[in-house]
Amino acid sequence: MTAPNESIVVPVALAERAYDIVIGRGAIETLGARIKALRPNAKTVIVTDATVQKHHLDRVTAILTAAGVASSPIVVPAGEGSKNYATFGTVCEAIIAARIERGDLIVALGGGVIGDLAGFAAASVRRGLDFVQVPTSLLAQVDSSVGGKTGINSPQGKNLIGAFHQPILVIADTAMLDTLSKREFRAGYAEVAKYGLLGDAAFFDWLEANWQAVFAGGETSNSMAREQAVAICCRSKAGVVARDERENGERALLNLGHTFGHAFEAAAGYSQRLLHGEAVALGCVLAFEFSARKGLVAESDAARVRAHLAAVGLPTHVRDVAGGVPSADALMDLIAQDKKVKRGKLTFILTRGIGQAFVANDVDPAEVRDFLSEKLS
């Protein structure tokens, strides 16, 4: 049991669909009371995976029970492989079998995979159920649990099937991150660094000085660095989502590193060879290096990004991908399926400096292919 600290509350301003992100050690203790206040008579199903089940399901169930909120679990295999048609169907059928009605709730207890999968099921069953995000990974706490993007993967690409469906509440208990492996925490940190790289140079400066305190966290640490980092990322994303919920403009900036990253992730078969956050780290480095190649950003900035992510222990070179990667042509085929492609034209998030990302439309595919060929060689 972790003694709760005073929580940080970040609002997501979406008019009648507004909701709060509650951040802090022990914040999970308020889950039952908050659900009771939001939906007084609701019952819930908790969608989680086999790994998170071992660490957190009993505690979350007890918290809901103590508040008089009925719950039943739906447990799926851990890992990106669960973001598929078959598991999505299994979850939907289990929700229906639990007799969850429109006034009831889905609780997504897990990392980004569970948030995306449970959120998409919530958007689909009975044409839309409310859901609560309880992210248990750093990546999910700072990024995927906020903003309403839900979905599953296609064999042809990542997150190609899904819906925008906002949660009614996000509880980001930073104590839950203590159960993550070092590799999983590092992977989540890639999304933390991304927020500095895309639009907040001062935050990236702070991360260079404080990343070890963010990693330390823990009950014995007097530092609030982890909570600060999560809150800064959530405030940044909440602002972007409020201004551009459906990604018609500014929200595309949140995909810095993802066009390259998703291609490498798909090439690795969405497997343990390359975690999503690791792919994002590599993608951010490549985005800066490609921007430098185009004369948009100084080589020193690209080197600084590469050095920081490498110091954290994240992949920064193509050769860092376990098992190798396919040809430049094969990667280009995967990039062509990216969600940001419009009428066949490639869109990349490029940069003019740290904290100065921008949307580049109609990027020349031949230039990208030559760049990837160089990196692969």
Task: Kindly list the catalytic residues.
Answer: 127, 149, 191, 237, 247, 251, 255, 258, 262, 276
Q: HSE-up of 1 (CA within 13 Å, CB side)?
A: 4
Count of beta carbons in the 10 Å neighbourhood of residue 96: 12
Cα 157 to chain centroid, rounded: 17
